[in-house]
Structure 1
Amino acid sequence: MTMTVSSDVRALPVLQGRSLVEGNARGSLISSDTGLSFWGGIDPFSGEVIDRHHPLSGKIITGHILAIPSGRGSCTGSSVMLELILNGHAPAGLILAEPDEILTLGVLVAEVVFGKSFPVVCIGAEAFAALPESGTEVCMTGKQIRFGNAVPAEIPQSSQADTGPGSLAGSMKLELRDHEMLDGFHGKAAQVAMQLILRIAALQGATELIDVSQAHIDGCIYTGPASLRFAQQLVAWGGKVRVPTTLNSISVDKRKWRELGVDAGLGEPASALGDAYLNMGARVSFTCAPYLLDTKPARGDQIVWAESNAVVYANSVLGARTLKYPDYLDICIALTGRAPLTGSHCDNGRLATLHIEVQKPDTADDAFYPLLGYHTGLLAATEIPVITGLENAAPDSDDLKAFGAAFATTSAAPMFHIAGVTPEAPDAATALGGKAAKRHRVVSADDLARSWRELDSSEETAVQLISLGNPHFSLTECAKLAGLCAQRKKDPQTALVVTMGRDVNEQARAAGYISTLEAFGALIVTDTCWCMLGEPVIPQKTSTLMTNSGKYAHYAPGLVGRKVHFGSLADCVQAACSGQWPRSLPDWLSA
C-alpha cells in the first residue's frame, strides 16, 4: 500500500490508500476507533447503528463516509451490507484501517450481481489514527481521499474495475477446472461464484486456490429481500454445491413458525430462503453449532465455514482450517469447491501474536468462560491470542463453545489458543510460533468485572424472559438444564425459551430431557437462534431478559431493544423460578 500522510491529516488533508472496491463518493465523515459488526450493529432498513455498546450507537450512516478500523463479530455483516446498498441506506463510502473481507464482500456482491456499489479504501492504522473529526467533508476518488478544503466541487464519474475473466485470473495459479468455471462452462452460478472468489483472493493477496472438504452456510439467514434475491438468483442460474454442505440457523423455526405466531411477512421469505439453499443441495441441518453434528471436520481438514462462533470453534477447538468467511462467499466456495489459500488455511496464519494471562477464580461457575471470551475479544480485536493460566482449569466443550461465541462477537480474529487446552497450543511458545508476543496483557478481576457490567446491563429486577441456546444447546447442556429444572416450575410471568438444532433436539427427546424441560414450562425452538428471534417468541411485555450467553447479552439490546441480565445457567433457572434477578457481580468475581 502506498500512502501520502502528513504528520497531521488536518493540515494536509489528502490520503492515498489501497482501493478494495473502486468508486467515487462524497459525504460528511462519521468515524470511530472501534470496530463494528454490521449484523446486530446496524439496522439494515434505517442505517442506524444499533449496537448499544458502540461509540456510534444511534448514529445514521446513510449517505455518510463511514470510517471504522475494521469490522468485527458476525459473518452476516456482508448480508446486512448488501441489504443497505439495495434499499438505499448504505454509507456513501467506507474507510478502513485494515482490509475487512466481510464488509467488502457485501459491496462486491452488490457490484457483481446487482450493479450497485460504493468505494471501499484501506488506509492503514497510522493514517486512520490521524483522521479528522466526524462531520468533516470527505471526497473519495479511487484510492485517494480528500478532506475539508481539499474536497473538489464536483465528484468525478466513477470508473468500475474491469472484472472480466482475463483480468480476474491475473497472477493466480488456476487449474483447468477453475478456468472452466470462470469461463462459464459449468453454468452461470459457478461462474459468478468464481468471479467473487477471485476478487476476494486478490484482496487477500492469495496466489492459488485449494480444495475444501465441506461447507457451512451462514447466508441462509434472512436479513431482508436482498438475501432472498441473491439465493434465488443462484438457484435460477442452476447453482449446485460441489461439497457436503450444512446450513446455519435460519430466521424462523421452519416446521412451526405459524404455530409460534410468527408473522407471515417474515415466516414466508425466511422459509423460502432456507428452501433456496436446500435446492442447491445443502443438507437439512439449520444449526449455528455444526460442530455438534456427526459431520464435524477433523484436525487439519480444509473447510469453508461461516457463522462466527462456528468458525472460531472449528479452528480453535477442532483444529480444522477455515477463514472467518463472509455470508455469500460461503455459498460461492461451496458451489465451486475452491477457496483462496491464505490466512488461517495456512500454518503461519494460525499463530498467536497476543499473549493474555488470566487466573480462573476457584469458585467460578460456568459464566466465567463467556465472560472471559467477551473480554478477550475486546483485547484481541484482529489479533489471534494465546491464553495462559488455564492449564489446570479443564474447560469442557460447552465452556469452549461459550468462550468462542463471545470471543467471536467482540473480535474479528478467526481463532484463539488456550495453552494446554486447545490442540495447537500445548504451550504458549508453540502457539506463538517460537516468537515473542507482539503484545502481552494480564487480565485482572477488575477487568472482568467491567466486562460483566457491560453484559449485565439492566437495572430492573423483574425478568420476563430467559433466553438460552446462543449458540445452539448441546446434548450435555440439555442434560444440565434438565437436572436444574427437574421437579420445579417456572414463574408463570417469566418465559424460558431454549434453541437447539434438530439433531440435538431428537437426541434430547429420546433421553427424556425435553419432557423434563417442557414440564418445567420451557418452550423448545429449533432451526433458528436468538440472533434472529423476535416477537412473539420474545413476549411483547418483555422489558428485561436474562441469558447465559455472552454473545446474546451483547447483541440483544440492539437486536430486540430489551435490557439484559447475564449469569450462569443455574442463575438463569433461578430467575425463571422467581421471575426476579438483581444486578450484581457474582461472589466469585466481587471477592
Structure 2
Amino acid sequence: MPRSTFLTGRSLVAGAAQGALLFADVGLSFWGGVDSATGEVIDRHHPLSGEYLAGRVLAIPSGRGSCTGSSVLMELISNGHAPAALVLAEPDEILTLGVLVAQTIFERSLPVLCIGQEAFAALRGGAFARVEDTTVSLFDQPPGDAWQAIDSPLRTDATHISIELTERDQALLGGEHGKAAQVAMQIVLRMAELQGARSLVDVTQAHIDGCIYTGPASLRFARQLVQWGAKVRVPTTLNSISVDQRRWRELGVDPALGEPASALGDAYMAMGAQLSYTCAPYLLDTAPKAGEQIVWAESNAVVYANSVLGARTLKYPDYLDICIALTGRAPLIGCHLDAQRKARLQIELPALGELDDAFYPLLGYHIGALAGSRVPLVLGLEKRKPSLDDLKAFGAAFATTSAAPLFHIAGVTPEAIDPAQVLEAGARIAVEKIRLQDLMLSWRELNSARDPRVDVVSLGNPHFSLGEFAHLARLCRGRNKHPDVVLAITCGRAVLEQAREAGHLAVIEAFGATLVTDTCWCMLGEPVIPPAATTLMTNSGKYAHYAPGLVGRKVHFASLAECVDAACSATASGRLPAWLQPAAQLESPAHV
C-alpha cells in the first residue's frame, strides 16, 4: 500500500471517487477556461493549460471568472468528461451549483469537498487522491487495494434544512405553483443551506446568464423547465446568447450551433423573460437603483451592479439565476448584506501620468488577480473621474481574474465616496502597493501576440455603450478600414438603435465595421473571425484574456484609438501608452 496523507473538510456535495490528482494553486474559470465538449483546460494563462480533467481529482483554490462555469461543469458531467471529484480551498458556489443541477436533471453527480487553505497547500506534489464525503486521502502512487466508490443517494429534496420559510415559500416547495417552481425552490434552498443562509429575501428583478449555449445539456435543462410550466415571477432580462438570433445564417454560423443556440434563447423567452440579449443589462432602462435586491448573473454585470450602481446581488451561477427568477426568492447572504460589502483588501496605486482608456481594463485585470475572493478598496483615483465606460471596462476585467462580486474605488464608486464607509471598524485589512512595473507584467500577459499584423479588431466585450459608439464614430470619421481587416462590434439591440438614431452608425458603417447583436465575443468564432486570421486586437481586458483559449488566436491589447489605427493599417504599433512608459525605462535593457 503506498504512503498516504488524510485531510478532512466540509462536503459541499457528498460522494466518493478517486483518480490521478490534478493540482493548481490558481483559481480556474470553467467558462472560457475549460472546453465543455472535451474537458481540456483551454485558459492559456493558467498553469493547467492543455490538461484534461476527465477522471482526475481536480484540486484548485476555487473557481473564478464567469458565472457560466456552472453550465460548463454540468455539460462535462452529462457528457462524461468531468473530473472524478473537486477539492477546493474555498467554497465555490458556481461550480457546486453545476453539480447540483446535474443531480436534479440528469441524476449524475461528483463529490465536491472544501478543505481550507492550509490543508489545500498540503495537496501540492500529490500523485493520486481518493475523496470520500468529508475526507481526501493523498497517495504517492495509485493504491493497490480493491476500493470501490459506494454511490451516495442523490439528494434532491429540501425538507431537512433549517431556513426560515414564509407561507409562500412553503407553497412553492410543496408544488402548489407547479413542478418547475417546486424544483427551482429545492435548488435555491440547497444553495442557501450550503451558503449558511438563515432566511431568504425578495428580489425585484433577474438577469439570466444560463441562456448561453454550452452544449446539449444546457438546452435540455431549459426545455425541461418549460415542460414543467416554468414562468418567471419577477421582471427578467436575458444575457447575450451564443449567436445573433436574427442573422446567424447570414453570418455563416454552422446550423449545428445556430439552431440549438437560438432555440435556447426561445426557451427562456417562453418562461416570460424579456428579449434583451445583452451582457450589459446596466445599459437598459430597467437598470436597478442603489440598494435594490436583485439576482443577476454574468460576471461583469454582477460586478457593475454591485460596485457602480450600488444594487445588491451575488455572483450568481448559471441556473441558480433562473431558479431564483422562478421563485422570486434568494438566499439572504453575501453582498445582499451590509457587512459582506466591506473591503478586505486595500490597493494603493503609484503616481500616474495622463491616462488613456487602456488603463482601466488593465488595472481591473491586475487587481482582480491580487484580490482573489476579497473585496478591494482602490486608492489613488480620487481626482481622475473615470467615466462609466471606464468603470465598465475595469469591472469586466476585474471579474475575469477575481471571484469577488464587488470592488470599491475611493472617491468614485457610490459606497466609497467616503472610503471609511467601506472599512469595518477595527478589522485588519491587507494592503497591496502596485508599482508601474507590476502593471507592465499584466500588460505583457494580455499582449500575447508577437506578430504585429492585425487580422481582426474585436470591440464590444462587454457590449458597446452609446458613449463608446460616439467615441468610435469620432475616431473613424473620414477614415477607411484596411480591406484585409475585419472590425466587428457586439452590442445589445437597444443600444444599437440608440446609436443609429444618434447618427453614429452611419459613420461607423461607412468605415467598414461589422455590427453583431444578441451575442458577444466570448461566443463568437469562425466565420466572423476568418479561418485564415491569426492575430486579433482588442481594447477589452476580458477578451484579451479569454481569446487565446476560446478561438486559438494571439491578441494585441491597447486603447480604442490604437485599435482604430490598427484597423486602418492592419498593423499593431506596439506603442506603450504614455502612462506605462516610465515602467519600461525602469527595466533593464534585456527586458525592454
TM-score, normalization by structure 1: 0.96
State the distance in 1 between where 2:578 and 2:338 align. 42
Q: Which residue of 1 aligns with 2:377?
A: 386
Q: How does 1:439-450 map to 2 (within 5 A)?
A: 439-450=430-441
State the distance in 2 between where 1:163 and 1:482 align. 53
Instruction: Judge conservation of contact 2:455–2:535 (CA < 8 Å) in 1.
Output: yes
State the distance in 1 between where 2:51 and 2:307 align. 35
State the distance in 2 between where 1:132 and 1:57 align. 17
Q: Which residue of 1 aligns with 2:208?
A: 217
Q: Which residue of 1 aligns with 2:66?
A: 74
Note closer, same or farther for the CA distance 1:145–1:51 as it changes in structure 2 (3 Å cut): same
State the distance in 1 between where 2:428 and 2:348 align. 12
Residue identity opposite 1:78 in structure 2: S
Q: Which residue of 1 aligns with 2:473?
A: 482
Q: Which residue of 2 aligns with 1:159?
A: 152
Q: Which residue of 2 aligns with 1:101?
A: 93
State the distance in 2 between where 1:251 and 1:514 align. 23
Residue identity opposite 1:110 in structure 2: A
Which of 312, 315, 319 is the matching residue for 1:328?
A: 319
Instruction: Judge conservation of contact 2:4–2:137 (CA < 8 Å) in 1.
Output: no
Residue identity opposite 1:409 in structure 2: T
Which of 108, 112, 115 is the matching residue for 2:107?
A: 115
Note closer, same or farther for the CA distance 1:46–1:319 as it changes in structure 2 (3 Å cut): same
Which of 296, 299, 304 is the matching residue for 1:308?
A: 299
Q: Which residue of 1 aligns with 2:360?
A: 369
Q: Which residue of 1 aligns with 2:75?
A: 83
TM-score, normalization by structure 2: 0.96
- What do the CA deviations read for 1:383-426 (whole angstroms, capped 9, x no partner)? 00000010001001000000000000000000000000001112
Residue identity opposite 1:22 in structure 2: A
State the distance in 2 between where 1:467 and 1:18 align. 43
Q: How does 1:193-204 map to 2 (within 5 A)?
A: 193-204=184-195
Residue identity opposite 2:504 in structure 1: Y
2:22 aligned with 1:14: no
Q: How does 1:550-561 map to 2 (within 5 A)?
A: 550-561=541-552
Residue identity opposite 1:107 in structure 2: V
Q: Which residue of 2 aligns with 1:243?
A: 234
Q: CA deviation at 1:539?
A: 1.2
Which of 21, 25, 31 is the matching residue for 1:39?
A: 31
Instruction: Judge conservation of contact 2:314–2:334 (CA < 8 Å) in 1.
Output: yes
Instruction: Judge conservation of contact 1:360–1:390 (CA < 8 Å) in 2.
Output: no
- What do the CA deviations read for 1:247-298 (whole angstroms, capped 9, x no partner)? 0000001111111111111110000000000000000000000000000000
Unaligned segments of structure 2, at least 5 residues: 583-592
State the distance in 2 between where 1:486 and 1:437 align. 52
Q: CA deviation at 1:437?
A: 4.4
Which of 537, 553, 567 is the matching residue for 1:546?
A: 537
Instruction: Judge conservation of contact 1:358–1:388 (CA < 8 Å) in 2.
Output: yes
- What do the CA deviations read for 1:476-513 (whole angstroms, capped 9, x no partner)? 00000000000110100111000110000000001111
State the distance in 2 between where 1:309 and 1:104 align. 20
Q: CA deviation at 1:147?
A: 1.6
Q: Which residue of 2 aligns with 1:234?
A: 225
- What do the CA deviations read for 1:523-575 (whole angstroms, capped 9, x no partner)? 01000000000011111111000000000000000000000000000000000
Instruction: Judge conservation of contact 2:17–2:84 (CA < 8 Å) in 1.
Output: yes
State the distance in 1 between where 2:433 and 2:412 align. 19
Residue identity opposite 1:316 in structure 2: S
State the distance in 2 between where 1:379 and 1:567 align. 22
Q: How does 1:428-439 map to 2 (within 5 A)?
A: 428-439=419-430
Residue identity opposite 1:488 in structure 2: R
Q: How does 1:333-344 map to 2 (within 5 A)?
A: 333-344=324-335
Q: CA deviation at 1:588?
A: 2.2
Q: How does 1:452-467 map to 2 (within 5 A)?
A: 452-467=443-458
The SS at the match of 2:562 is: helix
State the distance in 2 between where 1:357 and 1:132 align. 32
Q: CA deviation at 1:362?
A: 2.1
State the distance in 2 between where 1:156 and 1:87 align. 20
Instruction: Judge conservation of contact 1:429–1:435 (CA < 8 Å) in 2.
Output: no
State the distance in 2 between where 1:163 and 1:467 align. 43
The SS at the match of 2:567 is: helix
2:551 aligned with 1:563: no
Residue identity opposite 2:448 in structure 1: S
Q: How does 1:469-508 map to 2 (within 5 A)?
A: 469-508=460-499
Q: Which residue of 1 aligns with 2:168?
A: 177
- What do the CA deviations read for 1:71-97 (whole angstroms, capped 9, x no partner)? 000000000001100011000000000
Q: Which residue of 1 aligns with 2:586?
A: none
Residue identity opposite 2:87 in structure 1: I
Instruction: Judge conservation of contact 1:364–1:589 (CA < 8 Å) in 2.
Output: no
Unaligned segments of structure 1, at least 5 residues: 1-9
My pick for the range that moved more, 329-338 or 12-21, is 12-21
Instruction: Judge conservation of contact 1:452–1:585 (CA < 8 Å) in 2.
Output: no
Which of 185, 193, 196 is the matching residue for 1:205?
A: 196
Residue identity opposite 1:346 in structure 2: L
The SS at the match of 1:588 is: coil
Q: Which residue of 2 aligns with 1:3?
A: none
Q: CA deviation at 1:163?
A: 3.5
Residue identity opposite 1:157 in structure 2: I
Which of 318, 324, 335 is the matching residue for 2:309?
A: 318
Residue identity opposite 2:559 in structure 1: S
Q: CA deviation at 1:582?
A: 4.1
Which of 299, 313, 328 is the matching residue for 2:290?
A: 299
2:567 aligned with 1:576: yes
State the distance in 1 between where 2:173 and 2:496 align. 42
Q: CA deviation at 1:583?
A: 3.6
Which of 40, 49, 52 is the matching residue for 1:57?
A: 49
Q: CA deviation at 1:148?
A: 1.2
Q: Which residue of 1 aligns with 2:409?
A: 418
Which of 266, 271, 283 is the matching residue for 1:280?
A: 271
Residue identity opposite 1:164 in structure 2: D
Which of 180, 189, 195 is the matching residue for 1:189?
A: 180
Residue identity opposite 2:52 in structure 1: I
State the distance in 2 between where 1:379 and 1:298 align. 29
State the distance in 1 between where 2:309 and 2:315 align. 15
Q: CA deviation at 1:345?
A: 0.3
State the distance in 1 between where 2:286 and 2:350 align. 35
Which of 407, 410, 422 is the matching residue for 2:398?
A: 407
- What do the CA deviations read for 1:329-377 (whole angstroms, capped 9, x no partner)? 0000000000000000000111101000114622221100000000000
2:8 aligned with 1:25: no
Note closer, same or farther for the CA distance 1:582–1:200 as it changes in structure 2 (3 Å cut): same
The count of residues paired between Structure 1 and Structure 2 equals 579
